[in-house]
Amino acid sequence: MAAGYTMTIDGKSVKGSKSTGVINPATGKIFAEVPDCSKAELDQAMNAAQKAFPAWSKDINARRKVLNECAAALQQPPEGLARTLTLEQGKPLDKAAQEIMLTSMWCAFTAMLDLPAEVLMDTPDSKIEIKRKPLGVVAAITPWNYPIMLGMWKIAPALLAGNTIVLKPSPYTPITTLMLGEILKDIVPPGVLNVVSGGDELGSWMTSHPIPRKISFTGSVETGKRVAAAAAPDLKRVTLELGGNDAAIILADVDPAVVAPKIFWGAFENSGQICSAIKRVYVPEQMYNALLDNLGEIAKGVKVGDGLEAGTQLGPINNKMQFERVTELVEDAKKHGAKIVTGGSRVGKEGYFFAPTIVGNISDGVRLVDEEQFGPALPIIPYKDVDDAVRRANSTHFGLSGSVWSNDSARGTEVASQLECGSAWVNQHLAIAPNLPFGGAKWSGIGVENGTWGLMGFTEIQVVNSVKLS
């Protein structure tokens, strides 16, 4: 069993007083031990971040230089980082390597951003400036689907804005984030970036801790609501990037054989474990059977397996709880008369593998359509009228993203603009980039990440209004 992973607290490697196991989703067995942060150790991290804040917040050019050095360090990551990501998360090894490179790219792009400042008045007798000031210490909590990349979505803008940070990865995928802390601890000044590991109790301690002035959380709606409630008594600022039930609406002018591969990978990338992946598809009645057949053929040809095996395209579901949820939703759909075109059950006897599942003869009101499955099962729903499809797509508490598919991009754009979501794509899905704001409407979140918009979320506005003393 692998050992030796440490937290980063005040620039030091900390083994912690307790440990907890990490499960490889391809086997369902513990393969490594990581520190289980105590309350005292969390206090040390928070105090270190608070102590480091005044010096760190002074010079944006120095901060920019540090972030560029962090990005460079990740361009040539330590041997074994991608393999470890596959072991703890499950994704294919090439996808793990891609995530690490994207992490470097996000860091480098963020380092180039400027904090906007405005001068509203500048005369010999008076000057009014609008400035962006850092908040202080940020508590960041990240999920298990893209642990290292989504960690950097928080680290880079928080640090560039002048904040310091205490970050906790998911207990399902803590190792690569702990390794990230080790990689960066000799680049970032002590106390500026602290990485701790532990379970839900640690997350609760972080959100209620008196030191942080902001909480940045990515995860489920249910947990996001608890984070918001914990932040409220202290009026901590929050950014919440929560779940989605993204609808794809296919218009009648497309060829189902052409659009099917794009829909499939928009839904099944990372085994469907992406908050903004396609979760349900609305298709014209006359195209319904053809699309089902095309998607079913693609699903049958995909290799599901251990991410370390050559040729694997889809790895396991990351954890037992999520595996059981996907299984439950598919079984519930069967009970409601759904047709399983392909898949519909686990693969093998070990681990959390689930066959890519295409589901027909299903409609709104069934849990697989109404809820976020966050896994490799996709319901296909026929419609008669585009306006009705838009209404059904919007009839949800979720509002993260959605897409419209049409050979007439102007018509597609017109329909996409009617979707009640943070990102509306036309003839594409998962088009997420570091220069674009990403966030949700309704229950899918508060605030945005990425680009200048995400950077500003780690700041407060300050008005500096000066006049000449007469």
Residues marked active site are found at 241, 275
Largest CA distance in the chain: 83
Measured CA to CA, the distance from residue 14 to residue 20 in angstroms comes to: 15
Pairing of strands 118-122, 126-134: antiparallel
Sheet with 118-122: strands ordered across: 118-122, 126-134, 459-467
Residue 438: burial class (beta carbons within 10 Å; 0-12, 13-18, 19+): buried
Cα gap 420→48, rounded to integer Å: 42
Pairwise CA distance, residues 80 & 264, whole Å: 30
Contacts of 304 (CB under 8 A, 6+ apart): 312, 313, 314, 315, 347, 353, 354, 355, 356
User: With contact defined as beta carbons under 8 Å apart, do 90 and 315 qualify?
Assistant: yes
Hey, how many other C-beta atoms are within 10 angstroms of the C-beta on 49?
26
Place of tokens 């009640």: 420
Q: How many CA atoms lie within 13 A of 16 on its CB side?
A: 23
Q: Which DSSP category does 271 fall into?
A: G
Specify whether the CB–CB gap between 184 and 73 falls below 8 A: yes
Dihedral over Cα of 313, 416, 238, 47: its sign = positive
Task: Tell me whether strands 438-439 and 339-342 are parallel, antiparallel or unpaired.
Answer: unpaired
384 near 286, Cβ under 8 Å? no
As a whole number of angstroms, the distance between CA 465 and CA 470 comes to 16
Q: Is the dihedral of CA 77, 79, 80, 82 positive or negative?
A: positive
